[in-house]
Every structure is written in structure tokens, then in C-alpha cells.
Amino acid sequence: MFRLSANPSDLRFPPVDLSTPEGLLAVGGDLRPERLLEAYRHGIFPWYSDDQPILWWSPDPRTVLFPDNLHVSRSLKRSLRPGLFNVTLDTCFRDVIQHCAGPRPQYPDGGTWITAEMLEAYTRLHELGYAHSVETWQEGELVGGLYGVALGGAFFAESMFAHASDASKVALVSLVRQLQAWGFRLIDCQQSSPHVMRFGAEEIPRRNFLDYLTPALTLPDRQGHWQFDIS
């Protein structure tokens, strides 16, 4: 397995086609903003738990949602009607990621892959204007949301949470519609799940994903604090 250089000026990753069948590409390095952004530009992301070193992944196939292919079910459309939820962008990033880091049922020990190190790293990316959150509110309470990283015309979705029915789904649909209005080319969902597939996401070969990602990254970065500008 490829071990990343400890030299902070060496941000190189190995070619993604050297990853294992499961998508594991490299180990080590750090979560400095420069390395994280370099990873995303090459279709690579970190995913590990507290008892592991930093692990870097590039799965094949890759799950992608193209904004124009968004599917919204009839039942979800009812939850999107004005009055049930209020949705905002970048108003409480750290709260969103902390909620996303809550215990997950798929972890036998009730743990999470969003370690304290990951929380601090993505909060730093948010402060630099690259990581963004979507918040869903109900009666003034934060009940759902998601966060991810934006580069050029690509959004790399990381995690979501919901404490009320459809709260995370409303956050996702609201985000996708805004990204579509801004001309974003793709949303990287990383790995397949029944949840994202219901919205029109699809699995594509990694080489195709990179073919879509490369031109998307040539678009200007929408860096800074985000706000909705569609109704």
C-alpha cells in the first residue's frame, strides 16, 4: 500500500488505478487543507476511524448525482412545501458536522468515521470557504442537514443527518437545486446507498467519473460563504 510522504510540501497521491478492489489507495499524510483539496481534485477522499491511521480512498465504481437528473418523490414534494421546514446555507457548519458525527447504527460499537481530527480539518476548510453546510430548521430547531466540499463545478458530499422525518432529504434537494442554478456539473456521492439512489444518483466507472470531474474543476471556485439565491 502506498504511504504518503511526511514532507508537508509533498502532496502527491499515487494514481487512483493503484487502489485495492475496495478502493483503498493510500495511508498516512495529514488533513491539512492543501492535502485535502489536492485529494478531492483527483477523486480521492479520507475515510477512517479513531483506531486507524488516515486512509485515502478512490472507489470504483463511483456514485454520482448529476444535478439535472435529480428525482424528487411525490411524498417528498409535500415536505418541500413552504412552512414545514426552513433551509439555510453555511449558518452553523460546525453544528452540522457534529450532528453528522453522532453514533451510527452501522458501526457495531456505536462509533463514527467523523473523528475529532476530521471535524477540525473540515471546519478549517469551511473557514477557508471550500466546505459548506446545508441546515434544515423546524420551529427554530436544527433538525437536519449535510456538509461537503465544493471545487469548481463539483460538490463532494460527505455526510448528512436527520432528527425529523425528511429533514436531510429536504436539505439535499434544496442544495441540488441551488447547485443546478449555479451551473455545477456533478455531485460526488462517493459510494452507493439506497438513500442517494432514490434521488437519481447512479454508479459509473471511476474512469468516467474522472472524465466528468476534470472539466468540472476548470470552472471558477465558488469560494466563501454561501446563501440561497433561488426561491
**For residue 85, what is the domain's CATH number?**
3.40.630.70
| Owning domain of residue 16 | 2-59
pLDDT > 50? residue 45: yes
HSE-CB at 45 with a 13 A cutoff on CA atoms is: 20
Residues 126 and 49 reside in one and the same domain: no
Q: At what angle do helices 116-127 and 93-100 cross, to 10 degrees?
A: 150
The number of domains in the chain is 2
Q: What is the pLDDT of residues 6-42, one digit of tens each?
A: 888 999 999 999 999 999 999 999 999 999 999 999 9
Segment 125-144, tens digit of pLDDT: 999 999 999 999 999 999 99
Is the predicted pLDDT of residue 109 greater than 70, yes or no? no
Q: Does one domain contain both 18 and 76?
A: no
pLDDT at position 8: 85
Segment 94-99 mean pLDDT: 98
Q: Quick one: 83 and 184 in the same domain?
A: yes
Same domain, 51 and 98: no
**In this structure, are 95 and 27 located in the same domain?**
no
Q: Which residues contact 58 (CB under 8 A, 6 or more apart)?
A: 16, 19, 23, 25, 42, 43, 44, 45, 206
Q: C-alpha grid cell for residue 172? A: 439535499
Cell matching residue 213: 470531474
Beta-bridge partners for 86: 137
Single out the residue in 11, 36, 59 at which a domain terminates: 59
- Pairwise CA distance, residues 30 & 115, whole Å: 13
pLDDT confidence of residue 107: 46
Q: What is the mean predicted confidence (pLDDT) over 91-96?
A: 98
Q: Does residue 52 carry a pLDDT above 70? A: yes
pLDDT band at 108 (very low <50, low <70, confident <90, very high): very low
Residue-level pLDDT at 110: 47
pLDDT at residue 111 is higher than 70: no
Within 10 angstroms of residue 49's Cβ, the number of other Cβ atoms is 13
**Which of 13, 28, 59 is the endpoint of a domain?**
59
79 and 180 within one domain: yes
DSSP 3-state assignment of 50? coil
Q: In which element (H, E) is residue 63 found? A: strand 62-65
